[in-house]
């Protein structure tokens, strides 16, 4: 018996050993059809819980038996099953699925079957960037998408425009949709870019007309991450540490010694003896003067910490994705920062028969923001940028005594001391809670018929608290007579809630070579705004604490002081739409799309409340024709579309702007006998609204023709599109008779064209054959766009500040300055007829300059390379055709500021009898301060290294013992180098102001771990 038992155990042991030795390590790479690696694809041993996911380079490693079947899957791609056999390396190419590839409006389709001009950016091009707002990461990545961030404030809003500018006074930014919920396009500082799975940019009318009243400026659709069905728990964490610094400038400002010599020469200021009884300083005294670089005082090296952890998993019928994020950024300017906490949970599910599907997406975010105010202004007591750029270099930080700001002399030259006092006594805190959620449910209740409901909401609550301490210079200086306890505290609460509901019925059928997709939709949108705030006048320094009410001083009826001010507002907005779409395909060769939409907006009177928009689009997949079988083309498609879409935000961004333009509104004001009464007019001007019941939508009609192609075994891929857009019924001021009490009334008049083309090209220079081989690819994209005005509402055919008929939008209209008269140092100008003059008429000698601030040509290019886990990614942005007024340079060359503010050494080139050939006029010239000239209009073209990343992805076999499936370490740089003629800190800003907050250079160190 014992012998038999030993025999059985021996046989069992042999079988176990055989099974053990039958298991093997299988490695490989998962890529898409274009050869790009797929990050996060699931590799599962079917029938077991043994699974892993691919790393940044698409690599994986898993233990499997020869008889096992590996299942490869990823969202948006068809799954693939492979039997292991005796293979130890299995490389897989996943094909794009028919359900989720290209977003074309309220539906998705495959790239070959798409009729529209759109671009999709994947998570890999958004993740691990140090920008607080994901919008900034899109810059230079999409042809025709122009993104300008005019401030270095953490989380600052960006101006986003697609294919030019479609309106003069109305909104020009696209509609943003996150997981089905339309959101505020001007506030993304509270959202975590690490949660984004893809961003689709819809450009032409074939894609945007179905959005009707909100699609005139294009549409950007953001899809956040989700778990995959039958996916084991995957944990990913990323941590990024960034350092931000001030970019360089070329203004060449004076130090203390140089400035004191300038003052001595000019006979003003400390150098000329203002502080020494009128005795000018000697060279020795000047050389011994201590100098302050005020840039180092008001700017700093900012530090950013960005941490995210996410968990994703899925069973047969449900999936989940959950993430937590923490972001903290100190801006390069003092008193500027952003701190953010993020939570997201996305869930999807399906019924046993897959007829019912649902998805919920929810994110809760809390942020605190400290943002200096008065940036860009000339407020010497409030704008830190003015203090950093223009303060006298011989003043010292020690010249300010903390707590003694109220005793400072109110002189312009004391600007940096006022601002040092403001740093001590002024506080600002903005707290925001932002919630975005959506729920989607679909039910295939009959063959080929699906009912769907998508509900989305966006809620934000902002509390802004500001206080000016009672002992500060500003409080003391602006105190009223008898106000012994000055100081103010403001608190403003703003709540905004929007809700969007879309209900649809879809019919989708395929028979033979034909397929048809028809949808009927209704959409309802509602927005609510509630605000309340107050200003407390008077703070007791003995009990005052910023944000607290213990130091509030009560109203003094006897003196009429410390009178508080309160404000409140209630605004509502609404839209309603019904629309339909139809898409037909024959044999994957020919396609036709139609869309029709009827919209109603609360902004317009009943007679114009509804408007109709439509589009037609088509394609011809030439590459699928028999005569293309032996051609170099792997794919070739011709697309065309035409359609209209509307802009009901005719007075600018925001849901609530221009909400009463079709109604006569009255104000209360003192009238005859000093009695309060209803009136349209007050002593200060118009207080009410004179109605224009005929106002209507701005309508954008767009025609687009495009080509998509792949050649040389899909090594070279790209698209080229040409378009013409015409905006009709522009909202602008129209002259009226003064008998109605005003010289102009807002109306729909005039047209605006945007004509151009954009292109995107990708080329795989070197493709690796095996895992770890050297790979190199390059890309370039660009957009050329030119605007043209038509039917300007002016008898003269032009309006200064807007442009002329046949000319560019916002074309500059100024007197031309051409140099300096070598005979006397006066500035030389051209009159309207082109004749030289020193004394032009600043009104009648102005001409249009064929220049404006809108880019003509802009885009990006770069390369990506990898070898055995090491990789480099780069992106350059370029902008051509922008001209801006350099207000900072004008200030630094203003001789009237000698003794008050710092200046540029350019003044050393000023005309003198011994220096007659120069670009700087005599400092005593009589025509230096003429208005309406182009003297400081400068070219603002640039080429910038927008992004550079160097990193290493550890190979899977190196991580197995540590229980990791991916580990990526990297160093990133943003805005590292800029090539431009612009002399200021920030060439990117799209304005003609001065003393602005420049966008910084950023260096980041990061690690990303997958478990």
d(CA 419, CA 943): 35
Inform me whether the pLDDT recorded for 78 exceeds 80: no
3-state helix, strand, coil in the chain (%, to 5): 15, 45, 40
- What is the model's pLDDT at position 188? 85
Average pLDDT over every residue of 624-628: 91
Residue 9 has pLDDT above 70, yes or no: no
144 Cβ partners below 8 Å, 6+ apart?
A: 162, 163, 201, 203, 721, 756, 758, 783, 785
Tell me, what's the pLDDT at 45?
Answer: 87
Predicted confidence at residue 262, as pLDDT, reads: 95
Is residue 686 pLDDT above 60, yes or no? no
Q: How confident is the model at residue 395 (pLDDT cuts 50, 70, 90)?
A: very high
Half-sphere exposure of 712 (CA within 13 A, CB side): 10
Pull the structure tokens for residue 528. Answer: 């609510």
Helix (H, G, I), strand (E, B) or coil at 474: helix
- Does the pLDDT at position 668 exceed 90? no
The helix/strand/coil state of 716 is strand
Torsion 727-733-739-740 (CA) sign: positive
Q: Are strands 92-93 and 24-31 parallel, antiparallel or unpaired?
A: parallel
pLDDT band at 53 (very low <50, low <70, confident <90, very high): confident
Q: What is the pLDDT of residue 1?
A: 45
Band (87; pLDDT cuts 50, 70, 90): confident
User: Shortest CA distance to 982 belongs to which of 972, 996, 970, 969?
Assistant: 996
pLDDT tens string 552-596 = 998 887 777 888 899 999 999 999 999 999 999 999 999 999 999
pLDDT at 61: 87
The whole-number pLDDT of residue 530 equals: 97
Mean pLDDT over 204-227 rounds to 92
For residue 21, the model assigns a pLDDT of 40
Across the chain, mean pLDDT equals 89
Instruction: Write down the pLDDT at residue 19.
Output: 38
Query: Within the chain, what is the greatest distance between any pair of CA atoms?
Result: 125
Report whether pLDDT(768) > 50.
Answer: yes
Q: What pLDDT, on the 0 to 100 scale, is given for residue 674?
A: 63
Nearest-CA neighbor of 211 among 654, 708, 702, 607?
702
CATH 2.60.40.1120 range(s) for the chain read 20-96
The CATH class of the 101-232 domain is mainly beta
Q: Is the pLDDT of residue 6 over 70?
A: no
Q: Is 743 helix (H, G, I), strand (E, B) or coil?
A: coil
pLDDT band at 28 (very low <50, low <70, confident <90, very high): confident
Dihedral of CA 843/848/854/859: which sign?
Answer: negative
**d(C-alpha 231, C-alpha 126), whole Å:** 24
The mean pLDDT value for 225-242 works out to 91
Query: What pLDDT does residue 216 have?
Result: 92
Helix (H, G, I), strand (E, B) or coil at 271: helix
Model confidence band, residue 12 (pLDDT cutoffs 50, 70, 90):
very low
- CATH 2.170.130.10 segments of the chain: 101-232
pLDDT at 680: 59
Q: Residue 543 in contact with residue 585, Cβ under 8 Å?
A: no
Confidence check: pLDDT of 5 > 50: no
Q: Tell me what percent of the residues of the chain surpass a pLDDT of 70.
A: 92
The tens digit of pLDDT for each residue in 935-965 reads 999 999 999 999 999 999 988 778 877 888 8
The per-residue pLDDT for range 875-928, each reduced to its tens digit, is 999 999 999 999 999 999 999 999 999 999 999 999 999 999 999 999 999 999
Question: How large is the average pLDDT for residues 447-467?
Answer: 95
Query: What percentage of the chain has pLDDT greater than the value 90?
Result: 68
Encode pLDDT of 975-990 as tens digits.
999 999 999 999 998 8
Give the C-alpha separation, 170 to 649, whole Å: 6
What 8-state DSSP symbol labels residue 916? Answer: -
Cβ–Cβ under 8 Å, residues 808 and 882: no
Beta strands in 116-246 (DSSP E): 118-122, 145-148, 159-162, 175-178, 181-183, 196-202, 219-224, 231-245
The predicted pLDDT at position 172 comes to 92
Please state the rounded mean pLDDT for residues 856-873: 95
The string of pLDDT tens digits covering residues 480-509 is 888 889 999 999 999 999 999 999 999 999
Neighbours of 122 (CB within 10 A): 16
Q: Report pLDDT for 99.
A: 38
Quote the strand ranges of 742-826, DSSP E. Answer: 744-748, 751-766, 775-790, 798-799, 803-804, 813-814, 816-820
Under DSSP, is residue 284 helix (H, G, I), strand (E, B) or coil?
A: helix
Q: Which superfamily does CATH assign the domain made up of 20-96 to?
A: Carboxypeptidase-like, regulatory domain (2.60.40.1120)
Helix (H, G, I), strand (E, B) or coil at 633: strand
Q: Taking the CB of residue 934, how many other CB atoms lie within 10 A of it?
A: 20
Between these two residues, 204 and 81, which has the higher pLDDT value? 204
What is the structure's pLDDT at 105?
Answer: 64
**What's the confidence (pLDDT) of residue 510?**
93
Strand 181-183 versus strand 175-178 pairing type: antiparallel
């Amino acid at each position: 018996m014992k012998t038999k038992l030993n025999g059985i155990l021996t046989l069992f042991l042999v079988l176990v050993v055989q099974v053990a030795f039958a298991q093997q390590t299988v490695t490989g790479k998962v890529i898409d059809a274009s050869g790009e690696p797929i990050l996060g694809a699931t590799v599962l041993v079917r029938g077991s819980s043994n699974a892993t996911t691919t790393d940044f380079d698409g690599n994986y490693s898993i233990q499997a038996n020869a008889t096992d079947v590996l299942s490869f899957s990823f969202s948006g791609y068809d799954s693939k099953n492979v039997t292991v056999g005796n293979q130890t390396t299995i490389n897989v190419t996943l094909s794009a699925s028919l359900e989720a590839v290209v977003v074309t409006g309220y539906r998705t389709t495959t790239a070959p079957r798409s009729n529209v001009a759109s671009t999709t950016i994947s998570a890999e091009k958004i993740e691990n960037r140090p920008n607080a707002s994901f919008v900034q990461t899109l810059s230079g990545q999409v042809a025709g998408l122009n993104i300008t961030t005019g401030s270095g404030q953490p989380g600052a809003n960006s101006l986003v425009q697609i294919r030019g500018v479609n309106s003069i006074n109305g909104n020009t930014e696209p509609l943003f949709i996150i997981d089905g919920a339309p959101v505020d396009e001007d506030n993304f500082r509270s959202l975590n870019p690490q949660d984004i799975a893809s961003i689709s940019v819809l450009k032409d009318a074939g894609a945007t007309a179905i959005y009707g009243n909100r699609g005139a400026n294009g549409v950007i659709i953001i899809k956040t991450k989700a778990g995959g069905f039958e996916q084991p728990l995957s944990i990913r964490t990323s941590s990024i540490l960034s350092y931000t610094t001030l970019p360089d400038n070329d203004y060449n400002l004076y130090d203390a010694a140089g400035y004191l010599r300038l003052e001595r020469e000019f006979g003003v200021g400390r150098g000329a003896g203002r502080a020494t009884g009128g005795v000018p300083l000697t060279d020795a005294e000047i050389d011994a003067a201590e100098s302050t670089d005020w840039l180092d005082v008001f700017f700093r090296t900012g530090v950013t910490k960005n941490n995210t952890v996410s968990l994703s998993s899925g069973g047969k019928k449900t999936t989940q994705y959950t993430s937590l994020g923490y972001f903290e950024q100190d801006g390069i300017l003092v008193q500027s920062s952003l701190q953010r906490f993020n939570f997201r949970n996305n869930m999807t599910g399906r019924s046993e028969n897959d007829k019912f599907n649902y998805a919920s997406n929810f994110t809760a975010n809390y942020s605190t923001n400290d943002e200096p105010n008065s940036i860009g202004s000339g407020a010497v007591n409030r704008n830190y940028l003015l203090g950093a750029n223009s303060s006298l270099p011989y003043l010292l930080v020690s010249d300010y005594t903390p707590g003694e700001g109220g005793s400072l002399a109110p002189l312009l030259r004391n600007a940096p001391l006022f601002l040092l006092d403001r740093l001590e006594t002024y506080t600002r805190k903005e707290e925001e809670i932002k919630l975005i959620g959506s729920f989607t449910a679909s039910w295939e209740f009959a063959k080929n018929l699906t009912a769907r409901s998508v509900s989305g909401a966006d809620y934000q609550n902002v509390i802004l608290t500001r206080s000016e301490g009672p002992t500060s210079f500003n409080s003391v200086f602006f105190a009223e007579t008898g106000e012994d306890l000055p100081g103010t505290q403001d608190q403003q609460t703003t709540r905004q809630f929007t809700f969007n509901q879309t209900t649809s019925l879809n019919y989708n059928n395929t028979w033979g070579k034909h397929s048809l997709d028809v949808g009927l939709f209704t959409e309802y949108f509602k927005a609510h705004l509630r605000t309340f705030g107050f200003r407390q006048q008077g703070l007791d320094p003995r009990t005052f604490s910023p944000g607290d009410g213990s130091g509030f001083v009560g109203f003094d009826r006897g003196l009429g002081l410390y009178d508080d001010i309160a404000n409140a507002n209630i605004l509502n907005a609404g839209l309603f739409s019904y629309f339909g779409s139809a898409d037909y395909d024959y044999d994957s060769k020919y396609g036709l799309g139609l869309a029709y939409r009827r919209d109603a907006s609360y902004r317009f009177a009943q007679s114009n409340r509804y408007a109709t928009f439509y589009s037609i689009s088509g394609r011809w997949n030439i590459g699928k024709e028999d005569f293309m079988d032996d051609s170099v083309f792997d794919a070739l498609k011709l697309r065309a579309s035409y359609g209209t879409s509307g802009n009901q935000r005719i007075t600018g961004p925001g849901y609530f702007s221009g909400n009463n333009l079709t109604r006569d509104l009255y104000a209360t004001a003192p009238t005859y006998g000093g009695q309060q009464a209803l009136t349209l007019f007050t002593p200060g001007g118009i207080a009410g609204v004179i109605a224009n019941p005929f106002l209507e939508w701005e309508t954008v009609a767009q025609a687009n023709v495009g080509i998509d192609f792949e050649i040389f075994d899909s090594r070279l891929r790209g698209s080229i599109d040409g378009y013409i857009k015409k905006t009709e019924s522009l909202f602008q001021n129209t002259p009226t008779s003064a008998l109605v009490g005003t010289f102009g009334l807002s109306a729909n008049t005039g047209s605006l064209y945007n004509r151009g083309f954009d292109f995107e090209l990708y080329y795989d220079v070197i493709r690796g054959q095996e895992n770890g081989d050297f790979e190199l690819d390059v890309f370039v994209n660009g957009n050329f766009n030119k605007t043209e005005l038509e039917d300007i509402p002016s008898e003269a055919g032009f309006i200064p500040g807007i442009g002329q008929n046949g000319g560019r939008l916002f074309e500059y209209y100024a007197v031309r300055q051409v140099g300096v008269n070598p005979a006397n140092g006066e500035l030389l100008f051209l009159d309207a007829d082109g004749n030289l003059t020193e004394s032009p008429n600043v009104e009648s000698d102005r001409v249009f300059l064929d220049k404006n601030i809108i880019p003509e040509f802009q885009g990006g290019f770069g390369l990506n390379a990898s070898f055995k886990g090491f990789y480099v990614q780069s992106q350059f942005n370029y902008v051509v055709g922008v001209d801006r007024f350099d207000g900072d340079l004008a200030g630094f060359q203003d001789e009237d500021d000698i003794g008050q503010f710092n200046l540029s050494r350019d003044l050393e080139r000023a005309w003198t009898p011994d220096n007659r050939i120069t670009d700087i006029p005599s400092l005593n010239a009589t025509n230096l301060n003429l208005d309406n000239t182009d003297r400081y209009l400068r070219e603002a073209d640039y080429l910038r290294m927008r992004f550079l990343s160097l990193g290493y992805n550890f190979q899977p076999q190196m991580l197995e013992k540590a229980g990791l499936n991916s580990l990526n370490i990297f160093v990133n740089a943003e805005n590292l180098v800029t090539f431009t003629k612009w002399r200021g800190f920030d060439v990117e800003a799209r304005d003609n102001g001065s003393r602005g907050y420049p966008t910084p250079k950023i260096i980041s160190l990061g690690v990303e771990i997958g478990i």
